[in-house]
Amino acid sequence: MPIFEHSSAVPYPPGTVFTWHGRPLALERLMPPWESFRVERRVGGIQDGGEVWIRQRFGGVWFRWHSRHHGYVEGEQFIDEALEAPFPRWKHTHTFPSADQGGCLVHDKIEYGFPAGRLGEAVLGRTVRRKLQRAFRYRHETLQWDLARHAGFGAPPLRILISGASGLLGRNLAAFLSTGGHEVHSLVRRQADPSRREIAWDPAAGRLDRAALEGFDAVVHLAGESLDRGRWTAARKREILESRRTGTRLLSEGLASVARPPRVLLSASAVGWYGDRGDEILSESSEVGHGFLSEVAQAWEAAAEPARQAGIRVVHPRTGVVLSPNAGLLRRLLPVARLGLGPRLGDGRQWVSWVSLDDVLYAFHSALTQERIEGPVNVTSPNPVRSADLMKVLGRVLRRPSGLPAPRSIVTAIYGEQARDGLFSSARAIPAKLTASGFRFASASLDDALRRCLGLRGEKA
């Protein structure tokens, strides 16, 4: 029977690392972004008898995993074994033996079998092992990075409320904060489940239980209509704008009215605030731009004024293009880039202010925990690139050719104003405030960031 093992030395005590794995959403934080999966249900934690149901996609087909935990030894080991899976056997043993100088060894051992026995192993063995190597390289690196970020926060854990927790940033931020020991709650636009720490609201109808906002240390507001769902018709633009303005105003007024308001509100914004600025270097002190995205960002930030007037420290993360294979620009580009048809959008000279998903999470964490960070904050890599260079690097990472011209007229005909205000807009934003605060970027290199989020770290160029 095949066995896969992967080990890493971690400079933290076994108890610290073990506790991290036992916190809510640890599984979600460890799952690689290039793998399509969702946790459908869980009962209990990693102790004996805990169960989890997952759906994961392989080769375009969704499979169900149902695992049960056993072999739990506090601070030392736990095991999850599949009751239902694409493999006839799957037993994953996690151990955390002590290492030199107070650290520990994180050791994963998977015993598995293939459908059709030896024939299945002959056909799929190499592919499965390569996928496991990629996944556990990512998992162990994520663990090390996250532990280091949380170790720098010496205060007691925070009670945090997140709106938009089902989106890309929200669900990843919730997992990162939860595994760091913070108590995370969610604002949801459906019937709330108190057992899952949910609070219901309806921004469009102006409904929010203000009493439920009492007692939070911090609030992260990310909710808003997606920019990528359909063409920007006049009606669609109104939805996008009002979802941000109305929701932010409602939440800000609610927070301002409670007896003990939170110390900080992170109310999302975007580098679209600057508009199309050519080669101009844009810091947080730069003037506002023009265009629909700039109009949206201005209204978004202004709607948080009630919270600011109430003495709450308000931070507006002006986030750039977040690199994820599951959302945004990269998700659009990947299918054609993998075919060797990576397009050069127009003349390719427009600047792209990109940022890795990890650095967004770490920047938000810094803004939550550092009192000196306030107002607009560019959450972008310190190394923006031109659009043509982004495609070249992506092609190199994928080992595919790139640079096929995509004329502006054709792209604009397909996407309309979304192309003019997004794909062809140039924003050369730099993270001046983050840099001044001492923030350390996990992925300052575009090549490194793409390899990590696509599972290609350690692969030859």
The reply to whether 381 falls in a domain is yes
Domain shared by 179 and 136, yes or no = no
pLDDT at position 76 is: 96
pLDDT for the residue 100: 79
**Percent of the chain surpassing pLDDT 90:** 77
* Domain stops at, among 117, 151, 185: 151
Does 202 lie in the same domain as 115? Answer: no
What is the CA angle 179-180-186, rounded to 5?
A: 65
Q: 237 and 331 share a domain? A: yes
Backbone angles phi, psi at 22, to 5 degrees: -90, -5
What was the pLDDT predicted at 459?
65
Give the per-residue pLDDT at 57: 84
Predicted confidence band of residue 26 (pLDDT cuts 50, 70, 90): very high
pLDDT band at 199 (very low <50, low <70, confident <90, very high): very high
Same domain, 403 and 442: yes
Q: Which burial class, exposed, middle or buried, applies to 105 when counting CB atoms under 10 A from its CB (0-12, 13-18, 19+)?
A: middle
Residue 461 lies in a domain: no
309 against 420, higher pLDDT: 309
Please tell me which residue, 403 or 65, carries the higher pLDDT value.
65
Q: Are residues 131 and 173 in the same domain?
A: no
- CATH number of the domain residue 109 falls in: 3.30.530.20
Confidence category of residue 341, pLDDT binned at 50, 70, 90: confident
pLDDT at 113 over 90: yes
**pLDDT value at 1 more than 90:** no
Same domain, residue pair 231 and 345: yes
CA 74 to chain centre: 30
Whole-number average pLDDT of the chain: 92
Which amino acid is it at 438?
Answer: G
Rg (CA), the chain: 23
Q: Domain containing 226: what range?
A: 159-454
Task: Report the C-alpha gap between 37 and 33 in whole angstroms.
Answer: 9
Read off the pLDDT of each residue in 302-316 and give the average, rounded to a whole number. 97
Count of alpha carbons within 13 angstroms of residue 35, beta-carbon side:
22
pLDDT at 35 over 60: yes
Considering the domain architecture, whether residues 127 and 236 belong to the same structural domain is answered as no
Single pTM value for the model: 0.94
pLDDT reading at 460 higher than 60: no
Q: Is 123 in the same domain as 173? A: no
pLDDT value of position 425: 87
Question: Which residue, 151, 167, 202, sits at the end of a domain?
Answer: 151
What is the reported pLDDT for 413? 67
Q: What interhelical angle do 292-302 and 234-257 show, nearest 10?
A: 20
DSSP assignments along 159-188, one per residue: EEEEESTTSHHHHHHHHHHHHTT-EEEEEE
Residues 147 and 239 in one domain: no
Lowest mean pLDDT of 147-161, 178-192, 301-315, 410-424, name the range.
Answer: 410-424
The mean pLDDT of 252-261, rounded to a whole number, is: 96
What is the pLDDT, as a whole number, of residue 162?
98
Overall average pLDDT of the 175-183 stretch: 97
In a domain? residue 459: no
The 3-state secondary structure of the chain, one letter per residue? CCEEEEEEEECCCHHHHHHHHHCCCHHHHHCCCCCCEEEEEEECCCCCCCEEEEEEEECCEEEEEEEEEEEEECCCEEEEEEEECCCCCEEEEEECCECHHHCEEEEEEEEECCCCHHHHHHHHHHHHHHHHHHHHHHHHHHHHHHHHHHHCCCCCCCEEEEECCCCHHHHHHHHHHHHCCCEEEEEECCCCCHHHCEEEEECCCCEECHHHHCCCCEEEECCCCCCCCCCCCHHHHHHHHHHHHHHHHHHHHHHHHCCCCCCEEEECEEHHHHCCCCCCEECCCCCCCCCHHHHHHHHHHHCCHHHHHCCCEEEEEEECEEEECCEHHHHHHHHHHHCCCEEEECCCCCEECEEEHHHHHHHHHHHHHCCCCCEEEEECCCCCEEHHHHHHHHHHHHCCCEEEEECHHHHHHHHCHHHHHHHCCCCEECCHHHHHCCCCCCCCCHHHHHHHHHCCCCCCC
Is the pLDDT at 384 greater than 60? The verdict is yes
Residues 33, 125, single domain; the answer is yes
Q: Could you give the CA distance from residue 407 to residue 11 in angstroms, rounded to a whole number?
A: 51
**More confidently predicted of 403 and 6:** 6
Task: Say if residue 108's pLDDT is above 80.
Answer: yes
pLDDT at 398: 94
Average pLDDT over residues 170-186: 97
Q: Is the pLDDT of residue 307 over 80?
A: yes
User: What's the pLDDT band for 330 if we cut at 50, 70, 90?
Assistant: very high
* CATH code of the domain covering residue 324: 3.40.50.720
* Domain count for the chain: 2
Per residue in 141-160, pLDDT (tens digit) is 999 999 999 998 878 899 99
**In this structure, are 133 and 174 located in the same domain?**
no
* pLDDT over 70 at 241, yes or no: yes
- Token pair for residue 394? 């992506």
pLDDT band at 414 (very low <50, low <70, confident <90, very high): low
pLDDT-based confidence at 419, cuts 50/70/90?
low
Please give the average per-residue pLDDT across 224-228, as a whole number. 85
Of 151, 180, 208, which residue constitutes the final position of a domain?
151
Q: Do 325 and 436 reside in the same domain of the chain?
A: yes
